[in-house]
Amino acid sequence: MTFLRNVILILVGLVLAQNAPAQSSFYLKDGDRVVFYGDSITDQRLYTTFVESFVLTRFPQMKVDFIHSGWGGDRVTGGGGGPVELRLGRDVVAYRPTVVTIMLGMNDGRYRAFDQQIFDAYSTGYEKIVRMLRTALPSVRMTLIQPSPYDDVTREPGFEGGYNAVLVRYGQFVKELARRESLDAADLNTPVTAALEKARAADSTLAQRIVPDRVHPAAPGHLLMAGALLKAWNAPALVSSVAIDAAAPQVVQAENSTVTDLQAAGSISWTQADSSLPMPLDMKDPVWALALRSSDFVDTLNRQMLMVTGLKEAEYALLVDGEEAGIFSQDALAQGINLAALPNPMTGQAAAVHALTLKHNNIHFARWRQVQLPLESDALVQAPVALGALDSLEVELVQRQRALAQPRPHRFELRPRNVK
């Protein structure tokens, strides 16, 4: 029996090693300041805030600042916020970022079939942006984002070939420019388009709600875009991975986690302190659920795995801090369950962190677009006071956000269903 159990434990370790990739070298570093620059899709403050919350919860000890600088209607020449020279100087360079992402192109193609003259203006203008940023910020790291998709999948294209094919062509230029200039690139078009195709096959009506107006994704579509950017930045899939042999009882593996006080007397219980939090996902919302089922976001970016072997009963309730997270069969627990897909205190904590992410970004937006810019020519004595107060408010929110992102230990229990 001892030999057989040792063989099983070795196999469990091999399965977990395959299913939980090692933490990789992530693109962002402690002390980075990221500015997201782009048009209305960036201005929605959705893929950007998902990226921020992911970084904060996956790397809670790392301090990275995030600044939103999207403006609806922008092209490579600028737009409603002024010409590109003004936009870059005021809304990017002024923050002295170490990392800048650029996503432009949706408006530049003019929502029509490919036109060489329009494309030439785009490529020339994009190259100018890169030169200007390199001149003003010689050590900045740039990620050039290939334009997100125009939804020609869930609805018929407006003309032969469709507008997304134009954006794909623009994206190929962006990718080549990044290669030529030794910059980084991220493709937000291909994976979202693929997800739309899978979603359409599953539910053609519901799939249209992922990008409701064909241009601006809803929150689930933005999550997929955030996932594409995070993968381009080599983000890790692993939140934590824990394996327990209930028959021994012993901890077989604890990756990115510490497991203590393991007890097995009818119920199996232990204290688990993960080093990261999962990304909160709204699996109850039908559009979210469809988008996630149609993508690889969970498998590639949100794995908080628990595997328990050596169980005697057929079915168990999993409780975390006394709250039921789900009912699982012995076989399911032996194969491994993903805690990140369940309602539990860890996902609840991560959701609270994301709520603070949204709040501080909204304060920054109000400061920038509703106070700083409208009043900049009025020479009001109290304007700097108001701006300073909003800055202080955002700092306080960010401090609270980072404090809340620190993981906490939790008490786990697997209780046989026939035990009250």
The domain that contains 132 carries what CATH number?
A: 3.40.50.1110
| Residue corresponding to tokens 């050039």 | 144
CA distances from 170 to 43, 123, 390 (A): 20, 8, 38
Quote the strand ranges of 39-76, DSSP E.
Answer: 65-70
Contact, 411 vs 278, CB < 8 A? no
Tell me which residue range forms the domain holding 290: 1-25+237-420
Same domain flag for 336 and 409: yes
- How many CB atoms within 10 Å of residue 42? 24
Distance CA 104, CA 148 (A): 9
Q: How many domains does the chain have?
A: 2
| pLDDT tens for the 420 residues of the chain, in order | 444 444 444 444 444 444 433 445 999 999 999 999 999 999 999 999 999 999 999 999 999 999 999 999 999 999 999 999 999 999 999 999 999 999 999 999 999 999 999 999 999 999 999 999 999 999 999 999 999 999 999 999 999 999 999 999 999 999 999 999 999 999 999 999 999 999 999 999 999 999 999 999 999 999 999 999 999 999 999 999 999 999 999 999 999 999 999 999 889 999 999 999 999 998 899 999 999 999 999 999 999 999 999 999 999 999 999 999 999 999 999 999 999 999 999 999 999 999 999 999 999 999 999 999 999 999 999 999 999 999 999 999 999 999 999 999 999 999 998 755
Tokens of 180: 């030529």
Same domain flag for 111 and 205: yes
Cα of 263 vs its chain's centroid, Å? 36
Show which of 204, 232, 260 is a domain's final residue: 232
Show which of 214, 232, 250 is a domain's final residue: 232
Same domain flag for 117 and 188: yes
Overall pTM > 0.85: yes
Same domain flag for 248 and 390: yes
